[in-house]
Structure 1
Amino acid sequence: MLQGNRDVRSNVSLAAVLDEARQRFADANPNSLARQNEAAASLPGGNTRAVLWYPPFPVSFVSGEGCRVTDFDGHTYVDLVSEYSAGFYGHSDKAISAALVDVIQGGILLGAPNRYEARLAAAVVDRFPAIERVRFCNSGTEANVMAISAARAITQRSNILAFREGYHGGVLTFAHGGSPLNLPFPFIFADYNDIAGAAALVREQGSDLAAVIVEPMLGGGGCIPATREFLEALRAATKETGALLIFDEVMTSRLDYRALHGAHGVFPDFVTLGKYIGGGASFGAFGGRADLIDRFDPASPGAFSHGGTFNNNILSMAAGYTGLTQVLTQEASRAINARGDRLREAMNVSLERQGVEGIVIGRGSLMNLHFVKGPVETPAPLDNADPSVIALWHVEMLLRGYYVTPRGMLALSLPFGDAELAGFTAAFDDFLSSNLKVLPRRTN
């Protein structure tokens, strides 16, 4: 464990406390800093994935085991980033590792259907009730692009309804007004969890609307769960107008054994998947109603062409099948999501006891800390958060030996146990008590 923060007892500013914490972080991680500087010569910013960069520089890792990772300077952390939910199985699951070794020894790029591809497809169809057929691709971003494109082609309509602060991939980013790199689909935007407003907009669009795409819980948008009533309203409105409903479950499928659409009993036309279902290898999938996905059957006249060199690559197929069928059992799914609920509750208890204005929201093994007044049911209250507070939390938890995200999201992995929960809860409580002078205070 690195050195945590000293008690903040004097009348100092939040900015000064944050600067001092970042300096201690920099002093403790000279090898990560050296790697960062070297990498910046060929990689803009020293890395190739924006979400992994944060000031003063990101810590870099050399190894991982279970739910722990080790950095270039020899510090070990309990991992609560879990590759932004993709690392659900942890860093060293024996069954997945054995499956990967087996297929590597048998040939990596076979260039034909292989022994794992249909097995994984059958496991996905068996697990998730809204998926009757499935196609594989290489990322959640690609899965969402394919689902949206298919919806527009099938309906012969143009417009797509999405939700402000939603995230559906690197070219489908709608936080803070969206990204200039977004694909030029004709999007219309509604507010998340606004039942009346969203349903009215679907009906207003009528025959111009091809699809609605929604996360059953916002991921990058702060882990705000959708209400069942909101999802039911979207289902009813899209059925009425003939638009197709896409559930982006790239993150949220881990939150219930049957994914969140199964937990809520609301069944969309398309479901997109990614992240952990590849077992640690790159993965994406889009599935749904048989009549829709069968439009991709190459044996059918007029079929949609769906290419992708690595769609059925043997590493993702073997790791994905092994993880989904041998590791993520119903018992394991229930246990880790129950543990996540307990962690979220414990953090909220600490915030209340310490008198700090903040709330942890989410569901099961995914959650997000926000230093704002609760409850939080839409993204709007998050605009009131001071980014320096969550930045201080981030660096101080790193210094305490807990790898967390800069935006406050926590993603648990299956190896994360009760001992790790207790340790993290104690470290979080210590962070609060050590920084009360600069943290936002609750008011009646």
Structure 2
Amino acid sequence: MSPTSPLQIRDFRLYWCARFFAVLATMGMVVIIGYQVYDVARADYGMSIRDGALMLGLLGAVQFVPLALLTPVAGWTADRFERRTVARIANGIDMLVALCLGLATWNEVLNLPLLFTLAAMHGVARVFVGPSMSAIAPNIVPPDLLPKAIALSSIAWQSASVAGPALGGFLYAVGAPLPYWAAAVLLALAALLLTPIRRIVPPPMQGHPHPIRQMVEGLTFVRRRRFLLGAITLDLFAVLLGGATAMLPVFARDILQVGTEGLGLMRGAPAVGAALVAGWFAWQPLKHNVGVKMLLSVAAFGALTIFFGLSTSLPLSLLILALLGAADMLSVYVRSSLVQLHTPDMMRGRVSAVSGLAISASNELGELQSGLAAALLGPVGAVVAGGAAAIGIAGAWSYLFPELRRAKTFDPPPEVLAQAVQEEKPA
């Protein structure tokens, strides 16, 4: 009897748990790294609020550099080698980063160069996890269950994103190294859970045999398909300009004055709304007018970012951030489903790497943009201006990429995938 839910498939359950533990670990690490950078800049280096905010922007930049350089390699690796193995090795590297951060915190030898270096190493590990993990899911569930699998996978990501920052903040309040020790254990568990899953060997690569050319083919594939290009770049520019996450340590320490506990709650609040939306879609998958709904969700994301920037109350800020996360989840759910279902399996690792690069660029370069904007406008002005920019991006993309507005369902026209497979065959 065919399964009616991805959770009926053992490999997917293992995959779901591995994803949950890995995200729980990394989200706890990220929130503490950001707080430590800002706190060290203010307390040990005597920087002003604006200069400390700029350090948070530079933190995003140092994480983005390895992502930008290694994304083509990571996508090619996920399409060339056994995907579970790639993900396990990357999680192992991230575990070593967590241990180094824990030891440095324990011995009270933290400084900005060390934090930036370890953050960059964390970026190296995550760039290989993303494409390999994303490419596993379509191989362990039937195509008709993939939208549900993506929603359930998003629940793993979002629920861990709720618990990770809150857990990290509270553990840090108990003992500064504890978030990193916990992260190391969770990353080891994630690697172990991937082991029993059946081997995920990618199909033979078609096209040019040279590895460099094969890496470039992922970028070329996306560039030639306006639909994929529009969907990926919509998230890239909206979050790049409109993300408020980088400024949360500033709001926690100096505006709302709620400390690491409040920072953990604020970092987790968007994931609460996102997890609720993902849970709804796992039960009732979105079926109609998916493109328009994605565009509207990005506009709502921008409006809510403005409201957050103007809030001076922690409870109100948490509510706004939860609604912001819900709007972002709708966009992520639609985009992820469209990208996976419009891409043949032989290209999924490389296309997932391109999508991952866009997400990373929007997050890490968004932190740099937020830091620079905060240095000029102040943290509140930077968040409000970013929200307005995200609204503008949603409107512009609806006209620059009319294919997005016209997307009624997730199913690609048969001729689209037929053309994609044909183009990948050697001449």
Taking structure 2 as the reference length, the TM-score comes to 0.27
Greater strand share, structure number: 1
Taking structure 1 as the reference length, the TM-score comes to 0.27
Greater helix share, structure number: 2
Answer with 1 or 2: which has the greater Rg: 1
